[in-house]
Amino acid sequence: MPKTSYTGRHRPAAKPSRGRQFVVPVALLSSTVAGGLVIRDAGASQLSPEAAAMKNVSNSVAGLGLSADPDAVAAAAANRSGARSSRDMARDAKTLIIGATQSASQTANAAQAAAEKSAAAKAAAAKAKAAAAAKVAAAARQRALAKAHRWVSPVAGYTLTSGFGFRWGKMHPAQDLACPTGSTVRALSSGTVVFAGWSNEGYGNMVKIRYWDGTVSWMAHNSRLLVSVGEEVSPGQRVAYSGNTGNSTGPHLHLEIHPGDGSPVAPRAWLAERSVRL
């Protein structure tokens, strides 16, 4: 490392002449290395001999490895006292940058808040729309289900004859509805035909339907059947024409109700619970 030395007239003055002051601010030495060594001249716009001397100091510092640009040093030296120091300017610039950053940050935050508010409003509107659509769909399903699950009378225009109970010392597990042969016999609700054919047990032409709730109806003594096993039927759908086939003493529909395909119950009471009055 080269040793700094001074010779002849370049030796720094022991004391300032002509009242000029040369100040090498320690803080600036540390904070403006990149810009070079800053020298403040008390008055002259031209480099004084003393300033030139300090420039040599600067060059020497550069020789020690610090990047002190002589021109930058000179320009800084030309900076008059009373002008704001580069530290002040740096501080002001920093303040401006902080202010601008904060302003930009606030603007960004406001924009983000507005975007979030807009997105939330859109999401709420979409949710409300979906909820309304779901409500409409649910209502439609409810109506369709109510329509499919409604119960209706098996025949129109009948006379109640033998009811559910003992008749001539024998159990009659049905409700007989006297009606002219050829009267339309209808499914009581939605269901599946589980039997359609001739009964060897005295029921004549019989159709059995298992409904959506598991109940099975028997409709006997028909003159003609209109459905076959496995067929899906809807409430009120024609399934047969009434008649007087099998063990029958006159044209009528013999109706049995077997809840859960089990033992028969009184049809009138059972249908009454489903708003069907016989």
Chain positions contacting Zn ion, by CB under 5 A: 174, 176, 254
Q: In this complex, which beta carbon is closest to Zn ion, that of residue 254 or of residue 258?
A: 254
Q: In this complex, which beta carbon is closest to Zn ion, that of residue 38 or of residue 179?
A: 179
Shortest Å distance, C-beta 141 to Zn ion:
38
Shortest Å distance, C-beta 162 to Zn ion:
6
Candidates 123, 161, 141, 124; CA nearest to 244 is 161
For the stretch 8-41, what's the b/e string if a residue is b when 16 or more beta carbons lie within 10 angstroms of its beta carbon? eeeeeeeeeeeeeebeeeeebeeebeebbbbbbb
d(CA 172, CA 220) in angstroms, rounded, equals 13
Contacts of 257 (CB under 8 A, 6+ apart): 215, 217, 264, 265, 266, 267, 270, 271
Shortest Å distance, C-beta 249 to Zn ion:
9
Closest residue to Zn ion, judged by C-beta, is: 254
Shortest Å distance, C-beta 186 to Zn ion:
18
Candidates 264, 270, 251, 276; CA nearest to 176 is 251
Shortest Å distance, C-beta 129 to Zn ion:
57
Locus of tokens 């420039």: 55
Q: In this complex, which beta carbon is closest to Zn ion, that of residue 171 or of residue 229?
A: 171
Q: In this complex, which beta carbon is closest to Zn ion, that of residue 191 or of residue 204?
A: 204
Shortest Å distance, C-beta 278 to Zn ion:
13
DSSP state of 261: G
Q: In this complex, which beta carbon is closest to Zn ion, that of residue 3 or of residue 170?
A: 170
Q: In this complex, which beta carbon is closest to Zn ion, that of residue 59 or of residue 244?
A: 244
User: Can you read off the two tokens belonging to residue 101?
Assistant: 């950053």
Torsion of CA 79, 85, 91, 96, to 10 degrees: -40
